[in-house]
């Protein structure tokens, strides 16, 4: 369990304010923040002279390596030791790190990332007791935190981002912080001046809420342009074709159930066991359809379903074809 | 009563098998082929019984009264193994154990017989494991494979086997068997044999089980109710529910029993947590149950689709005035009305749609969607 941010004493300092220290512990599962913290420390040390950098994976660590890496250098360079993956550390690392925490070597910066979980809790406690700097790398959950992250990115680059722009960016890409970070750097490099909502829309518009249901709704309403661009966004953001076909099938099924039935939505809702809003939506969409097209499209989706589940070599083409045909069959 | 008595309408195959028994030196591998319900595995079992029969005169073997005959037919003979699968396909591990078993000498009888039911339910990889063993089994081992048609097994297997093909038994012979063996009345037996299209197993279930009869009736009447797309989608949901409800319920129940008996044998209470070391055993059990459930529900659905086909088959018979008997004779009036309202090409298209659905339910696709796609094709043409 991640400690709630800002309430616990152990939550640690923000990664933006991290500075070289004998021992630094990055705690939290957000890889992007951790790698930013690694970079900051590295850059700060490099700014003040030559450094000798050693990297370890805590899971593949061999006994004695830490001692070797932290023993004084012949050329009296500053030493930086980066250790990743403490959440899966092996016993050797645990023992060596515990010993090291008792007597940290001079002129060495040891920076470690622990992604979360209970593995190595003893070491974490020992590090904290020994005065290690704890940096908070917990995932950003609230939109406000993400908006804050985006604004800080722009501020760090001395650029302006409007409040609407920040909100639009988070709405489009907020699910994945590393994508959000990448989008920020793309906007910073590609544009000049103030970044506002128009600019964000130009780059990431339509990406908002690209789910299978949005695709299905647009297709059944006969809006081929919207359906296809939403589909492309959904596929590009990693939605599998299978659930998209499933939502097409479900929407068609709902429309088919209410098509040509002259009953009120309330009556239908209780007969079909569907919520009234769903019945109303289906009735609304049914106006675009005639029975033969509906039948043809149900057959088409069944075929696409088989194709995305292995009958075809190109599942994305199969779902795209189904979406195109459905959108064209629906009357605007 | 000898061992061949329960094979109605297979006189030709029986003559060949009797001759093989009398000669006393049977081929080392046999392939029994015939449509579902023609009694492939029963024929294999009867042949195995005749081979193991203790009667001294080779011409008279297959008496049906000696200990060997009785135990083979009951499936308890130590040297006759009857292998079947409850899943969609045989697992390769199961087949590997078979091969080891085939090397053993028979313990009491002259032959070690291995009967593989549904040999068509083997993937190519699994079948290849069998090849060597089927080609050169030890001198006392006889393999018997069963499949709907020779084309259903790999050509490499086919060429190593002597083939026995069974015919579709006539309705009369199936009805006679049901009367004689299962003690049904003549009308019951005749009806069951007719609507099951001479599928012996299905006929018996229909004759005995009131629920099964009602389910079949609902299924066959389904096309009469489909008028619009909306009807079709509703009917599809009903058909899937109707055919799979029972299979799902029984397989869930069986999975629960198995899990609780595994708990008992591991010494766990009903609500104590499963220790991490033993989780894989439970996982394997679930996995198995899932495969079985899929086979059971798909089988049930497949059966319903066959029943549905008989409706359109009858419609086609009426439209073409071929004069053949109707399978669903009791629905003659609605069938005549339906036949007059449409043309034969349309009926054939509908039969094709059902055949397509039968093929597709065995693929990973969503069964409800498959049946819906079929049902919308069953709408009467304008």
Is A256 part of the contact surface with chain B (CB cutoff 8 Å)?
A: yes
Conformation bin of residue B142: beta by default, left when phi > 0, alpha when psi is -120 to 50: beta
- Cα gap A88→A112, rounded to integer Å: 12
Is B366 part of the contact surface with chain A (CB cutoff 8 Å)?
A: yes
pLDDT at A76 over 80: no
Asked if residues A330 and A219 have their Cβ atoms less than 8 Å apart, the reply is yes
pLDDT at B299 over 70: yes
Asked if residues A25 and A127 have their Cβ atoms less than 8 Å apart, the reply is yes
Q: Which of A169, A184, A205 finishes a domain?
A: A205
Indicate whether A211 and A200 sit together in one domain: no
B39 domain-assigned: yes
- The reply to whether residue B230 touches residue A258, judged by beta carbons under 8 angstroms, is yes
Instruction: Single out the residue of B74, B73, B81, B89 nearest to residue B115, CA to CA.
Output: B81
Indicate whether A157 and A231 sit together in one domain: no
- The reply to whether residue A302 touches residue B372, judged by beta carbons under 8 angstroms, is yes
A2 domain-assigned: no
- Cα gap B352→B305, rounded to integer Å: 12
Indicate whether A166 and A107 sit together in one domain: no
B50 domain-assigned: yes
Helix, strand or coil, per DSSP, at residue A84: strand
A298 domain-assigned: yes
pLDDT tens per residue across span B358-379: 999 988 888 999 999 999 999 9
Task: Report pLDDT for A312.
Answer: 85
pLDDT bin (cut points 50, 70, 90) of residue A332 is low
pLDDT at A9 over 60: no
Asked if residues A248 and A216 have their Cβ atoms less than 8 Å apart, the reply is yes
Nearest to A305 among B229, B232, B365 (CB): B365
Strands (DSSP E) found in A72-207: 78-84, 108-114, 133-136
Asked if residues A136 and A8 have their Cβ atoms less than 8 Å apart, the reply is no
Indicate whether A283 and A319 sit together in one domain: yes
Indicate whether A130 and A19 sit together in one domain: yes
A320 domain-assigned: yes
Task: Report pLDDT for B382.
Answer: 63
Task: Report pLDDT for B285.
Answer: 87
Which residues on chain B are in Cβ contact (under 8 Å) with A253? Answer: 233, 372
Indicate whether B156 and B271 sit together in one domain: no
Q: Where is B183: in which H helix or E strand?
A: none
A3 domain-assigned: no
Task: Report pLDDT for A300.
Answer: 94
Mean pLDDT, residues B194-202 taken together: 88
Asked if residues A108 and A81 have their Cβ atoms less than 8 Å apart, the reply is yes
Task: Report pLDDT for A6.
Answer: 39
Least confident of A3-17, A173-187, A225-239, A277-291: A3-17
Mean pLDDT, residues B339-347 taken together: 92
Tokens of residue B5, six digits: 């008595």
- Provide the domain limits for residue B272: 229-377
Give the list of residues 6+ apart from residue A189 with CB closer than 8 angstroms, or none. none
Asked if residues B3 and B50 have their Cβ atoms less than 8 Å apart, the reply is yes
CA distance B362 to chain A (A): 11
Task: Report pLDDT for B281.
Answer: 86
pLDDT at A74 over 80: no
Chain A, nearest residue to B228 by Cα: A291
A165 domain-assigned: yes
A158 domain-assigned: yes
- Cα gap A58→A113, rounded to integer Å: 9
Asked if residues B379 and B229 have their Cβ atoms less than 8 Å apart, the reply is yes
Q: What is the CATH number of the domain that holds A101?
A: 3.40.50.300
Indicate whether B158 and B51 sit together in one domain: yes
Chain A, nearest residue to B376 by Cα: A295
Helix, strand or coil, per DSSP, at residue B22: helix
Which residues on chain A are in Cβ contact (under 8 Å) with B360? Answer: 302, 306
Indicate whether A196 and A223 sit together in one domain: no
Is B251 part of the contact surface with chain A (CB cutoff 8 Å)?
A: no
pLDDT at B275 over 50: yes
Q: Which of B114, B138, B165 finishes a domain?
A: B165
Beta bridge partners of A82: A55, A111
Is B294 part of the contact surface with chain A (CB cutoff 8 Å)?
A: no
Helix, strand or coil, per DSSP, at residue A78: strand
Least confident of A67-76, A271-280, B11-20: A67-76
Task: Report pLDDT for A237.
Answer: 78
Which residues on chain B are in Cβ contact (under 8 Å) with A309? Answer: 363-365
Which residues on chain A are in Cβ contact (under 8 Å) with B230? Answer: 256-261
- Highest-pLDDT range among A267-276, B291-300, B309-318: B309-318
pLDDT at A4 over 60: no
B211 domain-assigned: no
Least confident of A269-283, A301-315, A317-331: A269-283
Q: Where is A101: in which H helix or E strand?
A: helix A91-102
B172 domain-assigned: no
Task: Report pLDDT for A208.
Answer: 60
pLDDT bin (cut points 50, 70, 90) of residue A328 is very high
Asked if residues B229 and B376 have their Cβ atoms less than 8 Å apart, the reply is yes
B223 domain-assigned: no
3-state percent helix, strand, coil for chain B, nearest multiple of 5: 65, 5, 30
Q: Where is A199: in which H helix or E strand?
A: helix A197-204
Cα separation values, A113 from A13, A38, A85, A88, A106, Å: 14, 9, 6, 11, 21
Q: What is the CATH number of the domain that holds A159?
A: 1.10.8.60
Classify residue A163 by burial, with Cβ atoms within 10 Å: 0-12, 13-18, 19+.
Answer: exposed
pLDDT tens per residue across span A196-223: 888 888 887 656 656 788 899 889 988 9
pLDDT, mean over chain A: 85
Q: What is the CATH number of the domain that holds B115?
A: 3.40.50.300
Is B230 part of the contact surface with chain A (CB cutoff 8 Å)?
A: yes
Indicate whether B18 and B159 sit together in one domain: yes
A65 domain-assigned: yes
pLDDT at A10 over 80: no
- If one counts the domains in chain B, the total is 2
- Cα gap A112→A34, rounded to integer Å: 9
- If one counts the domains in chain A, the total is 3
B192 domain-assigned: no
Task: Report pLDDT for A158.
Answer: 87
Is A263 part of the contact surface with chain B (CB cutoff 8 Å)?
A: no
B113 domain-assigned: yes
Q: Which of A187, A205, A223 finishes a domain?
A: A205
Indicate whether A58 and A101 sit together in one domain: yes
Nearest to B228 among A291, A298, A311 (CB): A291
Q: Which of B123, B147, B165 finishes a domain?
A: B165
Q: Is the dihedral of CA A239, A240, A241, A242 positive or negative?
A: negative
- The reply to whether residue A306 touches residue B233, judged by beta carbons under 8 angstroms, is no
pLDDT tens per residue across span A122-142: 899 999 988 889 998 888 888
- Cα gap B127→B160, rounded to integer Å: 12
pLDDT at A7 over 80: no
Question: Which of the residues A272, A293, A295, A309 would you substitute to probe the B interface, choosing the one with the greatest number of B C-beta atoms within 10 Å?
Answer: A295
A124 domain-assigned: yes
Asked if residues B201 and B299 have their Cβ atoms less than 8 Å apart, the reply is no
pLDDT bin (cut points 50, 70, 90) of residue A8 is very low
Q: Which of residues 286-305 of A touch B (CB under 8 A)?
A: 291, 294-295, 298-299, 301-303, 305
pLDDT tens per residue across span B27-47: 999 999 998 888 898 999 999
Say how far residue B250 (Cα) sits from the centre of its chain.
Answer: 18
- Provide the domain limits for residue A285: 207-332
Indicate whether B141 and B247 sit together in one domain: no
pLDDT tens per residue across span B243-254: 888 788 778 888
Beta bridge partners of A54: A81
Q: Which of A121, A136, A151 finishes a domain?
A: A136
Task: Report pLDDT for B378.
Answer: 93
Least confident of A10-14, A122-126, A314-318, B219-223: A10-14
């Amino acid at each position: 369990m991640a400690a709630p941010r800002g309430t616990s004493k152990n939550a640690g300092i923000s990664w933006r304010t991290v500075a070289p220290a004998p021992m630094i512990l990055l705690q939290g599962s957000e890889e992007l923040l951790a790698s930013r913290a690694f970079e900051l420390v590295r850059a700060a040390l490099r700014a003040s002279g030559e450094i000798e950098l050693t990297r370890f994976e805590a899971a593949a660590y061999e006994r004695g390596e830490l001692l070797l890496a932290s023993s004084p250098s012949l050329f009296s360079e500053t030493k930086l030791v980066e250790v990743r993956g403490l959440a899966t550390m092996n016993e050797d690392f645990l023992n060596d790190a515990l010993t090291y925490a008792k007597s940290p070597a001079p002129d060495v910066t040891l920076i470690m990332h622990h992604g979360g979980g209970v593995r190595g809790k003893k070491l974490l406690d020992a590090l904290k007791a020994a005065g290690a700097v704890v940096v908070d790398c917990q995932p950003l959950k609230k939109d406000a935190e993400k908006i804050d992250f985006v604004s800080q990115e722009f501020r760090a680059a001395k650029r302006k981002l409007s409040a609407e722009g920040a909100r639009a960016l988070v709405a489009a890409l907020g699910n994945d912080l590393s994508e959000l970070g990448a989008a920020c750097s793309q906007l910073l490099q590609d544009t000049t001046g103030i970044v506002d909502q128009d600019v964000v829309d130009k780059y990431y518009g339509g990406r908002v809420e690209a789910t299978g249901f949005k695709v299905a709704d647009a297709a059944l309403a006969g809006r081929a342009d919207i359906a296809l661009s939403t589909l492309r966004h959904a596929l590009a953001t990693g939605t599998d074709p299978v659930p998209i076909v499933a939502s097409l099938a479900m929407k068609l099924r709902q429309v088919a159930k209410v098509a040509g039935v002259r009953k009120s939505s309330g009556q239908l809702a209780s007969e079909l066991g569907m919520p009234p809003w769903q019945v109303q939506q289906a009735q609304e969409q049914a106006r675009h359809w005639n029975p033969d097209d509906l039948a043809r499209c149900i057959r088409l989706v069944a075929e696409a379903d088989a194709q995305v589940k292995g009958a075809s070599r190109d599942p994305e083409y199969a779902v795209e074809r189904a979406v195109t045909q459905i959108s064209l069959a629906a009357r605007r | 009563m000898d061992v061949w008595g329960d094979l109605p309408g297979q006189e030709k195959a029986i003559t060949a098998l009797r001759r093989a028994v009398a000669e006393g030196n049977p081929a080392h591998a046999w392939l029994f082929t015939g449509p579902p319900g023609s009694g492939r595995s029963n024929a294999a079992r009867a042949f195995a019984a005749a081979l193991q029969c203790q009667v001294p005169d080779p011409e008279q073997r297959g008496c049906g009264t000696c200990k060997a005959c009785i135990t083979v037919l009951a499936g308890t003979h130590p040297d006759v193994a009857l292998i079947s699968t409850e899943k969609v396909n045989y697992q390769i591990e199961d087949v590997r154990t078979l091969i080891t078993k085939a090397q053993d000498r028979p313990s009491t009888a002259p032959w070690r017989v291995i009967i593989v039911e549904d040999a068509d339910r083997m993937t190519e990889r699994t079948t290849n494991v069998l090849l060597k063993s089927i080609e050169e089994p030890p001198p006392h081992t006889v393999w018997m494979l069963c499949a709907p048609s020779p084309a259903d097994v790999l050509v490499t297997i086919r060429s190593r086997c002597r083939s026995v093909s069974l015919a579709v038994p006539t309705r009369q012979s199936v009805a006679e068997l049901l009367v004689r063996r299962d003690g049904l009345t003549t009308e019951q037996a005749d009806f069951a044999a007719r609507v099951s299209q001479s599928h012996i197993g299905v006929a018996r279930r229909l004759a005995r089980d009131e629920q099964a009869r009602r389910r079949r009736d609902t299924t066959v009447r389904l096309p009469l109710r489909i008028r619009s797309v909306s009807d079709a989608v509703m009917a599809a949901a009903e058909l899937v529910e109707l055919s799979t409800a029972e299979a799902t319920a029984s397989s869930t129940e069986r999975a629960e029993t198995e899990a609780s008996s595994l708990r008992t044998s591991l010494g766990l209470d009903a609500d104590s947590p499963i220790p991490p070391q033993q989780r894989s055993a439970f996982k394997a059990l679930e996995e198995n149950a899932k495969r079985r459930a899929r086979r059971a529900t798909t089988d049930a659905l497949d059966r319903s689709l066959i029943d549905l086909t008989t409706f359109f088959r009858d419609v086609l018979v009426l439209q073409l005035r071929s004069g053949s008997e109707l399978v669903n004779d009791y629905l003659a009036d609605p069938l005549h009305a339906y036949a007059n309202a449409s043309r034969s090409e349309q009926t054939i298209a509908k039969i094709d749609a059902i055949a397509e659905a039968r093929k597709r339910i065995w693929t990973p696709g969503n069964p409800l969607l498959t049946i819906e796609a079929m049902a919308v094709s069953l709408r009467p043409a304008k």
